[in-house]
Amino acid sequence: MKKLYRKYNFKIVFLLTFVAFFIGFKLQDSDYFFKINKSIEIFGNVYKEIAFNYVDEVDPETLMKAGIEGMLKTLDPYTNFITSSEASDVELITSGKYGGIGITISLRDSMIIITSLMEGYSAQRQGLRIGDQIIEIDGRSLIGAKPESVRNLTRGEPGTEVRLKIKREGEPKPLEFVLIREEIKLKNITYSGYLKNGIAIIKLERFTRNAGEELRIAIKELKLKGDLKGLILDLRDNPGGLLESAVDVVSKFVPKNSPIVSTKGRKIQNEIKYNSLEEPILENIPLAVLVNNNSASASEIVAGAIQDLDRGIIVGTKTFGKGLVQNVFQLPYQSQLKITTAKYYTPSGRCIQEIEYTHQGEAATLTPDSLKKIFYTKNGRPVKELGGIEPDTVVKTRDLNPLFTELLRKAMFFKFATNYTLKYKEPPEDFSINGTLCSEFRKFLDSNKFDYESDAEKKLEELTSLTDNYPNKEDIAVDLNNLKVKLQGAKQTIFISNHKEIARMLRQEIMSRYKGELGRIEASYTDDDIVTTAFNIISNESVYKKLLGLKNLN
C-alpha cells in the first residue's frame, strides 16, 4: 500500500507541477498578447484622433506610413514596410525581372544621362547610346528630375510604348525615339572568360533565383572553350539576394551533403540547416573568391562557406558584415512587411553580423575584436565571428586622392569617352600614360578648364587664414604665395603618379562604348591588383596549399 501511495503521490506531484508550469506559461503568454492588443488599440486611437482633429488636414496614408516607419526605426534597418507601389522592387531582387527598355541612368551635372545599355533590348537595338541625355519622356520634361522618378517613367508593363527625347553630343537637334517596353531579365553573371594559362574569372553580381543555374552554365561553357585549371569568382560589390541562391552557388564547388549555412531565430521554425544537395561540378580545381566591403549578405554566405570548408581562398578586403535573414510577409492592399527573422551562421558556427541592433531604439553597437569568439575551418585555420568575412589574403585598395576624386565627381572620364567615340570608329591600342590617348585626355581636361584642389593646397589655405593677424603678415603672404605657385607646378607630376588608375578608368569607359558592359568589365580586370593576387596564388600550388592548410591537393 505504501508503494502504491508513493506511486500515486508522485503522479499527483508531477501533474500539479506540469499544470503550474502550463498555467504560468499561459499567463505569461496572455500577458504578452494583452500588451499587443492594448498597444494596437492605443495606436489606432491616436491615429484616428490626429486624422480627424489635427489643426491642418493630413494625408491619412502618409500619416500611417510615417507611424509604421517610426516604429520600425527601433529595430534594424533591414526590417521595412513596402507599399504596393514599391512591391515591384522586391520582385526585381528575387526574380531579376522587370518591364523596361534596358538602360541604366545616372545624374551628371544635373542631367539624366544614360550610363549603360543592356545588350539585346529595345534601347540598344534602336540606337540609344551611352552618354545620351534624356530630356523628355512621353512629353514630360526631366529638368530637375531625380533618377528614381525617371526609372519609374521608363519601367512599366511589357508591350507598352514609351517616347524619349534625347540630346546627343554632335547632333544639332534633339532626337526622338519610340521604344517598346520588354521583360528585362537581369543577369546574375555579367562576365565569364579566361584570363590566361587556364585560369578563368566569373563575375557574379547578384543572387536572384537563377544564380546557381547561370553559374553552372558559365562553368560548362568555360570547360568547352578550354582546359579549366583554376577559377576566380568575383563577388566584389555584390550586395546579395536570396539565401537559397547562395546555397545553390556554393553547391557547385563543395562535396554533396556539405554544410553551407544555418539560420537561427526567435522561433523554432526559423532554425534551418542548409546542405549541398548535388554533386559538385568543380570539386577539386583551385578556387579564389574576390570580396570587398560592398560584398554583403548572400555574398558573405558564399565566401564564409568556401572559407570554412577550406574549398578555396578569399582575396580582397573585409566584407560588409550582414548576417541577418529577412522574410517577406503579405499585408492587406498589396503591401508587404520585410522582417528580420533570423541570423545566419557559417559551417564553422560563426555569425558574421557586424552591427548589433538593440530593440529599444538605442544606438547600434560594434563588438570589439578582443570579445570576438574564435572558430576553426575544416583544416583547423582560426576565423573570427562578427564583423564580416576577413580574407585569407588581404589586398588593400588604394585611397582615392583629390585628383582622381574630382575627375570622377565631374565625370571627366565619362565625358571624354563619349567625345572619343564620336571621333574614332575603333578603340585605341595604347592606354599608357605616354600614349596618344592620355595626351588627348590632358588636352580635353584643359579645354574643359578642369582643376582641383590638392590636400596641400587646402592646408595652405588654412595656414593663410591663420596668419591674418600676424604683424609681418605681408612678408608671410609672399612666402605663402610662392609656395602656392610651387604646389600648382607639382600638381602636374601628380597626374603622372596616378597614371595607372587613370589609364584603367579610361580603358573601362572607352571599351564600354565599343563593347558594352562586357567590354567595361573585361577592361576592369587589366591591372587589377586583387585579380592579379588571386591569379598568382591559385597558379602556385604550394602557396595555395599553404594558405588553406592543405597537405595534399587531389
CB distance 346 to 243 below 8 Å: no
422-428 — which CB contacts under 8 Å span 24+ positions?
422/169, 422/170, 426/514, 427/510, 427/511, 427/513, 427/514, 428/510
Q: Which three cell numbers stand for residue 458?
A: 587646402
* Ranges assigned E (strand) in 148-286: 161-167, 175-180, 182-185, 189-196, 199-204, 230-234, 259-265, 272-275
Letter string b/e over residues 5-41, b meaning 16 or more CB atoms within 10 A of that residue's CB: eeeeeeeeeeeeeeeeeeeeeeeeeeeeeeeeeeeee
- Residues 540, 348: Cα–Cα separation, whole Å: 27
- What's the one-letter identity of residue 166? I
Calculate ∠ Cα 151-152-155, nearest 5°: 80
Of 322, 415, 512, 528, the catalytic one is 322
Catalytic pick from 297, 299, 348, 524?
Answer: 297
Q: How far apart are CA 425 and CA 177, in angstroms?
A: 23
Q: CA-to-CA distance for 382 and 354, rounded, in angstroms?
A: 18
Rounded Cα gap, residues 446 and 310, in angstroms = 52
**Burial label, 530 (beta-carbon count in 10 A; 0-12, 13-18, 19+):** buried
Catalytic: which of 308, 310, 392, 528? 308
DSSP state for residue 503 in the 8-state scheme: H
Is residue 308 flagged as an active site residue? yes
In order, the DSSP letters of 277-322 are -S--SSSSS-EEEEE-TT--THHHHHHHHHHHTTSSEEEES-----
Q: What does the alpha-carbon distance between residue 317 and residue 304 come to, in Å, rounded to a whole number?
A: 14
Annotation says 106 is catalytic = no
149 among known catalytic residues: no
Let me know: does 142 contact 108? Beta carbons within 8 Å.
no
> How open is the CA angle 225-228-232, to the nearest 5 degrees?
110
Alpha-carbon Rg for the chain, nearest whole angstrom, is: 30
DSSP 412-448: HHHHHHHHHHHH-SS--S--STTSHHHHHHHHHHHHT
Amino acid identity at 531: V
User: Phi and psi dihedrals of 533, rounded to 5?
Assistant: -65, -45
List active site positions: 297, 308, 322
